[in-house]
């Protein structure tokens, strides 16, 4: 099913195609890391392989140092012609690979997962952070040298910026909407208590930029 | 921010001032369909942006597979999409059989088809029932879950377990069909039809249901394809990609069935597509049960890969040796790598398996359909209201066990 695509890639990319293989009906083309994006652009554009099926990686640590240890696999399908093809490339530890998010938006999470699980960084990825693991996780779990029984250190409480903007806003249980008498506020009155709810105990600040009220509350209007 | 003074004449049109608010939804929100966190940027109740954060159900499926034998993957595969475990079992078995080049008997393939389609029915019944319930319609949920339980009764009768069957084997199934399999399966179809008909009668003219599903959570076909969506999420946009039709595996090319597609890619289309797929699945099962041989083996006859019969183990030396080798070392596929894909409950369920010739998989990659469908969730949600998260997220049918693995 992918034979024509393989032939076309060999014709257009020439020496950039390092190896091709066919096993049980799966066609695979391996390109060098520097041609990764070029091959993908060709596939996305002229060859109409618009449906990204999967992007994943395999770790072969014993290949080092002669060959890079990671092998990336991109599985594509064309929604127009129905062809399927697998593209592979190799990358060493810490080597950056061109991101394919500009070609297939679906590559976004797949690349984040590869970064999370194998520690392969992607150049040009808009939002490269861990996705399945938490940010404090140490190591890359799907590497072959990550022991399956490894224990992770405990994570201290996080410092979160801007958390004061999270609800609840007020001094009471929150939900300031609907309780503020906006008309009274527009008249310039200091107290902002909804006539529907009535006077509340304790001072209550306006939602954003109203005057702050610290003294005792006046009587609520009927 | 100050109020909009220009609209002061009419107090009812007064625009309340608002500034973008960040709100966390999940990971354990009572209205959310799975364990997942969404960080929302809101303008009032309108969603400006959403950061979907999966991973709370990550159990290391792929890592765990790298230390057992091939047959030991089946219990893990059950727990991927735990609403349709049989489809995962069949999907993984087909992948390893493709790697080996093993042919299974015809009766086994039909048996897998029927069990898999039953699992698909239970998956879609659950999803649609839950979607209706989350929109306030509790009755359809009870009806659909009732018939789903009858589907599970059949699966229990066949496999011995309601949910986590672990029934697939490399080269066949764990046991042949029971005597009453055909009759008991056909017996519940009338009830499923009836429950779906009644649910549709309650929902399809219900103004609340229509308002909250039609035009909500839209996704275009181009976006869905570029995002890697498959299954109902993709088909609801109008693209007719179903693995069973596009790349027929097993005996799907022998059956007469249709692939329902939607038009707008909204919640309503996904809901209707699921109900229609249940009808098509029942149609497939009827044909498969008709064509299935009444007798014959359900496992391949190859002692290198398939456990011999117990009588042979105890009476012949070949059986004893084969049993010992398969238990101690596991079956050993030839070195190579394959990507095998089937139509799971939510779309293309793929297994990418690398074998180094030993009894343990070198790498098992599960291509979870939910993962890519969920990625498109942001596109569906931005611009809608916060209350629309519930039906939209429900209609994606994200299954945490499969998405996070």
Residue B118 and residue B86 in contact, taking contact as beta carbons nearer than 8 Å: yes
Burial B102-122 (b: 16+ CB within 10 A, else e): bebbebbbbbbbbbbbbbbbb
> Is the model's pLDDT at B344 over the cut of 90?
no
pLDDT given at position A152: 85
Place of tokens 């992607």: A122
Percent of chain A with pLDDT over 70: 73
**For B338-344, what is the mean pLDDT?**
91
Mutate: best of A2, A20, A24, partner B, most B CBs <10 A? A24
Residue A213 lies in a domain: yes
DSSP string for B153-190: HHHHHHHS-SS----EETTEESSPPPTTHHHHHHHHHH
A57 and A8 housed in the same domain = yes
A104 and A166 housed in the same domain = no
**For B270-289, what is the mean pLDDT?**
92
- In this structure, the number of other CB atoms found within 10 A of the CB of residue A16 comes to 17
A11 and A118 housed in the same domain = yes
pLDDT given at position A174: 44
pLDDT given at position A135: 86
**For A195-201, what is the mean pLDDT?**
45
Q: Name the token pair of B346.
A: 């939510």
pLDDT band at A207 (very low <50, low <70, confident <90, very high): very low
Residue A130 lies in a domain: no
Contact B63 A177 (CB under 8 A): no
Q: How far is B23 from chain A (nearest CA, A)?
A: 7
Using a CB–CB cutoff of 8 Å, tell me whether B58 touches chain A: yes
> Is the model's pLDDT at B119 over the cut of 50?
yes
A179 and A81 housed in the same domain = no
A79 and A189 housed in the same domain = no
> Is the model's pLDDT at A59 over the cut of 60?
yes
A108 and A8 housed in the same domain = yes
Mean pLDDT, all residues of chain A: 77
A119 and A22 housed in the same domain = yes
pLDDT given at position A198: 46
The nearest alpha carbon in chain A to B4 belongs to: A186
Residue A28 lies in a domain: yes
pLDDT given at position A219: 60
The nearest alpha carbon in chain B to A184 belongs to: B11
Chain A, chain B: beta-carbon pairs less than 8 Å apart: 118
A119 and A178 housed in the same domain = no
CA neighbor of A77 nearest in space, from B326, B6, B228: B228
> Is the model's pLDDT at A57 over the cut of 70?
yes
Rounded to an integer, what is the distance from CA B230 to the centroid of its chain? Answer: 11
| CATH number of the CATH domain containing A30 | 3.30.460.80
**For A131-159, what is the mean pLDDT?**
86
Domain-ending residue, one of A123, A143, A178: A123
Domain that holds residue A28: 3-123
A119 and A165 housed in the same domain = no
* B362 contacts on A by Cβ (under 8 Å): 58
Residue A150 lies in a domain: no
Mean pLDDT, all residues of chain B: 87
Percent of chain B with pLDDT over 90: 31
A33 and A98 housed in the same domain = yes
- Kindly state the DSSP code that residue A78 receives in the 8-state scheme: -
Domain-ending residue, one of A70, A94, A123: A123
> Is the model's pLDDT at A168 over the cut of 60?
no
Q: By three-state DSSP, how is residue B356 classified?
A: coil
Domain-ending residue, one of A95, A123, A151: A123
- Measured CA to CA, the distance from residue B234 to residue B237 in angstroms comes to 6
Residue A155 lies in a domain: no
Residue A37 lies in a domain: yes
Question: Of residues B45 and B129, which shows the higher confidence score?
Answer: B129
pLDDT digits (tens, 9 = 90+) for B95-105: 999 999 888 99
Residue B87 and residue B344 in contact, taking contact as beta carbons nearer than 8 Å: yes
Residue A135 lies in a domain: no
**For B6-25, what is the mean pLDDT?**
63
**For A209-222, what is the mean pLDDT?**
51
Percent of chain B with pLDDT over 70: 95
Domains, chain B = 73-404 (1.10.645.10)
A115 and A199 housed in the same domain = no
> Is the model's pLDDT at B209 over the cut of 70?
yes
* A82 contacts on B by Cβ (under 8 Å): 246-247
Predicted ipTM of the assembly: 0.84
- How many separate domains does chain A show? 2
A117 and A175 housed in the same domain = no
Contact A165 B339 (CB under 8 A): no
Residue A167 lies in a domain: yes
């Amino acid at each position: 099913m992918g034979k024509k695509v393989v032939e076309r890639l060999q014709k257009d990319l020439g020496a950039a195609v390092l190896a091709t293989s066919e096993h049980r009906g799966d066609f695979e083309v391996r390109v060098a890391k520097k041609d990764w994006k070029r091959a993908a652009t060709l596939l996305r554009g002229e060859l109409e392989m618009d449906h990204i099926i999967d992007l994943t990686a395999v770790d072969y640590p014993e290949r080092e140092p002669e060959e890079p240890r990671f092998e990336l696999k991109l599985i594509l399908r064309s929604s127009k012609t129905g062809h399927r093809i697998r593209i592979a490339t190799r990358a060493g530890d810490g080597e950056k690979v061109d991101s394919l998010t500009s070609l297939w938006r679906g590559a976004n999470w797949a690349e984040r997962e590869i970064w999370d699980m194998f520690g392969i960084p992607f150049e040009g990825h808009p939002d490269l952070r861990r996705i399945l693991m938490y940010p404090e996780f140490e190591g890359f779990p799907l590497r072959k040298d990550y022991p399956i029984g490894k224990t992770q250190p405990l994570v201290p409480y996080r410092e979160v910026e801007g958390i004061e903007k999270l609800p609840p806003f007020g001094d009471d249980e929150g939900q300031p909407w609907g309780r503020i008498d906006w008309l009274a506020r527009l008249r310039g009155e200091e107290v902002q208590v909804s006539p529907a709810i009535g006077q509340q105990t304790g001072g209550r600040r306006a939602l954003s930029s109203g005057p702050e009220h610290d003294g005792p509350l006046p009587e609520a209007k009927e | 921010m100050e109020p909009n003074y220009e609209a002061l004449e009419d107090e009812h049109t007064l625009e309340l001032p608002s500034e973008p608010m960040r709100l966390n939804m999940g990971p354990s929100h009572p209205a959310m369909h799975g364990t997942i966190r969404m960080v929302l940027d809101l303008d009032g109740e309108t969603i400006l942006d959403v950061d979907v954060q999966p991973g709370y159900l990550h159990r290391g499926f792929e890592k765990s597979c790298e230390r057992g034998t091939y047959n030991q993957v089946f219990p893990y595969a059950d727990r991927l999409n735990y609403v349709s475990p049989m489809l995962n079992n069949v999907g993984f078995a087909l992948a390893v059989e493709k790697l080996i080049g093993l042919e299974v008997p015809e009766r086994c393939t039909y048996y897998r088809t029927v069990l898999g389609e039953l699992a698909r029915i239970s998956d879609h019944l659950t999803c649609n029932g839950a979607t209706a319930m989350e929109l306030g319609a509790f009755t359809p949920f009870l009806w659909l879950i009732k018939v789903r339980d009858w589907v599970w009764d059949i699966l229990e009768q066949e496999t011995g377990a309601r949910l986590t069957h672990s029934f697939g084997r490399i080269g066949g199934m764990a046991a042949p069909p029971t005597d009453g399999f055909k009759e008991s399966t056909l017996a519940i179809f009338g009830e499923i039809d009836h429950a779906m008909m009644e649910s549709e009668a309650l929902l399809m003219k219900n103004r609340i249901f229509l308002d909250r599903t039609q035009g909500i959570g839209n996704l275009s076909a181009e976006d869905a394809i570029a995002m890697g969506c498959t299954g109902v999420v993709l088909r609801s946009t109008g693209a007719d990609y179903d693995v069973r039709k596009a790349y027929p595996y097993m005996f799907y090319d022998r059956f007469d069935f249709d692939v329902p597609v939607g038009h707008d890619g909204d919640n309503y289309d996904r809901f209707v597509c699921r109900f229609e797929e249940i009808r098509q699945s029942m149609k497939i099962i009827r044909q498969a049960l008709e064509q299935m041989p009444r007798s014959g083996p359900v496992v391949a006859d190859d002692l290198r890969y398939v456990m011999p019969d117990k009588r042979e183990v105890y009476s012949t030396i070949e059986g004893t040796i084969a049993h010992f080798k398969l238990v101690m070392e596991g079956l050993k596929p030839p070195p190579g790598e394959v990507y095998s894909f089937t139509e799971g409950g939510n779309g293309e369920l793929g297994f990418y398996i690398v074998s180094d010739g030993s009894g343990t998989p070198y790498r098992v990659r599960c291509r979870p359909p939910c993962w890519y469908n969920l990625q498109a969730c942001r596109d569906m949600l931005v611009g809608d209201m916060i209350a629309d998260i519930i039906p939209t997220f429900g209609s994606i049918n994200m299954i945490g066990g499969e998405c996070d693995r």
